[in-house]
Amino acid sequence: MQLKENNDYDIIVVGGGVAGVSAALASARQGKKVLIIEKSYILGGLGTSGLVTVYLPLCDGMGHQVSFGIAEELLKLSIKDAYEDRYPTPWLKGGSREEKIKNRFLVQYNPHLFAIVSENLLEREGVDIIYGSFVTNTIVENDRIKYVVLENISGRYAYGCKNVIDASGDGVLAYKSCEDVVEFKQGNVLAAWYYSVSKEGYKLNILGAADIPEDEKTGNEEYLCDKRFKGLDAKEISLMVSLSHKVIYEDFKKKRALDHKFLPVNIAGIPQIRMTRGLKGEYLMSVSDDKKSFSDSVGLFSNWKKSGPVYELPFRALHGTKIKNLLACGRAMGAEDSMWDVTRVIPVCAVTGEACGVASALGDWDKISVSDIQKKLRENRVKLKVKEVI
Ligand SMILES: Cc1cc2nc3c(=O)[nH]c(=O)nc-3n(C[C@H](O)[C@H](O)[C@H](O)COP(=O)(O)OP(=O)(O)OC[C@H]3O[C@@H](n4cnc5c(N)ncnc54)[C@H](O)[C@@H]3O)c2cc1C
């Protein structure tokens, strides 16, 4: 098949999950011509078609908001139109510190509305979106990605651009470009989250909890099966998906027996795999980075599992050591195994996405100055240092 060329864009973002949406938005707001390439036909990734609809906290659990900018904008967008009453009121109405400690700054939203309003937002900001397009490869020259290669219904294309952002969740771009990557060794537990309607209304059924440290287990965690899934083999992913469907079917039958109105209304359109592969950042974040000060900090985030920790995000966790025009955000950023459970969640995807979007608009990571990235982020009201929020 002949490769058709397109050179219309400054920045290409691969993947339209929360990280990709945030990155594209940030780059477009810096005046760049941006394209998001998405293999499915909906924005939001795991956060919409994966039915993972809990926007975890922007605060540290001690009453301080730590993530701002696009992370806060998207949280508010996610509940616009229908779920505004779910906004944790102490955060909206200037509640006391005690109230903010009791109610962390998180929401649950509707996946369908979030996908649509995200798309509207990107279109308003001038971002082009190409759906149904699977990135299969890159063409690298002189340590830079010259073309991103994709296939879709109209053929095979080589998209040229100045800078590229890997928001694929699986480090696809880094891997295809022979940048160093890290794989999640532990593997993922089976998850089978789905939406239902019943006498109680429209509801998210959460089956398959995230890994919880041994000392925090209550004995009520539901792991569904002992097998762990790495998520990097098509056959293994297919097995995991069909197992999750069986689990949903069993759960449906149990609940239907108690309520004749109970029906599943949505099952996930993409595999519910938490962690697979990411960029081997020049710096790999770890849990011991709590409150560590980094001179190249480009954002702040908290730990959804624990109250207290606040992490500065070093720019070096968003780029590797080889490919000069590639940055990675969201699940694909550079983090150690122990830290991925913290960095993979929705607010952190937005924080890392915004940082990548702003930095990519300035140029290759080895040429730009971190203080320029920081200046632009501060103009967007992003906080960068722990001492600014505590
Ligand atoms: C079961 C489960 C429960 C979770 N619970 C929560 C929770 O309660 N709260 C929370 O905040 N987080 C939760 N998470 C984590 C969070 O949802 C995700 O980690 C986060 O949404 C990932 O965002 P992302 O943009 O990095 O990646 P993704 O959402 O994975 O988006 C990547 C996008 O890239 C596209 N893509 C991938 N490869 C290609 C390619 N080759 N070409 C074109 N497009 C491509 C995909 O289709 C997808 O749209 C959970 C995750 C799982 C699996």
Question: Is the CB of residue 349 less than 8 Å from the CB of residue 329?
Answer: yes
Mean pLDDT of the chain: 94
Tell me if 309 CB under 6 Å of ligand 1: no
Residue 216 has pLDDT above 70, yes or no: no
Best of 46, 152, 223 for a ligand 1 pocket test (most atoms within 8 Å of beta carbon): 46
Tell the CATH superfamily of the 3-184+276-389 domain: FAD/NAD(P)-binding domain (3.50.50.60)
259 CA from centroid of ligand 1 (Å): 32
Residue 213 has pLDDT above 60, yes or no: no
Tell me if 57 CB under 6 Å of ligand 1: no
Take residue 297 and report the two structure tokens written for it: 């900090």
Please choose, from the candidates 6, 277, 19, 333, the residue with its C-alpha nearest in 3D space to the C-alpha of residue 146. 6
Question: Is the CB of residue 285 less than 8 Å from the CB of residue 317?
Answer: yes
pLDDT at 1: 61
Assign 64 to helix, strand or coil.
Answer: coil
Q: Where are the domains of the chain?
A: 3-184+276-389, 194-267
pLDDT at 226: 74
The pTM (predicted TM-score) of the whole model is 0.96
Where are the strands (E) in the chain, listed by range?
3-6, 11-14, 34-37, 54-55, 107-108, 128-130, 134-141, 144-152, 155-160, 163-166, 181-183, 194-198, 201-205, 263-267, 277-279, 297-302, 310-314, 326-328
Give residue 212's pLDDT band: very low, low, confident or very high (50, 70, 90).
low
261 CA from centroid of ligand 1 (Å): 31
Give residue 225's pLDDT band: very low, low, confident or very high (50, 70, 90).
confident
Please choose, from the candidates 329, 325, 331, the residue with its C-alpha nearest in 3D space to the C-alpha of residue 367. 325
Comparing 6 with 186, the larger pLDDT belongs to: 6
Of all residues in the chain, the percent with pLDDT exceeding 70 is: 96
113 CA from centroid of ligand 1 (Å): 17
385 CA from centroid of ligand 1 (Å): 27
Give residue 93's pLDDT band: very low, low, confident or very high (50, 70, 90).
confident
Please, which residues have CB within 8 angstroms of residue 383's CB and are 6 or more apart in sequence? 66, 68, 300, 389
Q: Which of 6-10, 106-110, 185-189, 211-215 has the lowest mean pLDDT?
A: 211-215
Tell me if 16 CB under 6 Å of ligand 1: yes
**String of DSSP letters for 273-337:** ----EEE--SS-B-GGGTT---TTEEEEEE-TTSSS-EEEEEGGGS--SS-TTEEE-GGGS-B-H
List, for residues 178-196, the tens digit of each pLDDT value.
Answer: 999 999 988 898 999 999 9
117 CA from centroid of ligand 1 (Å): 18
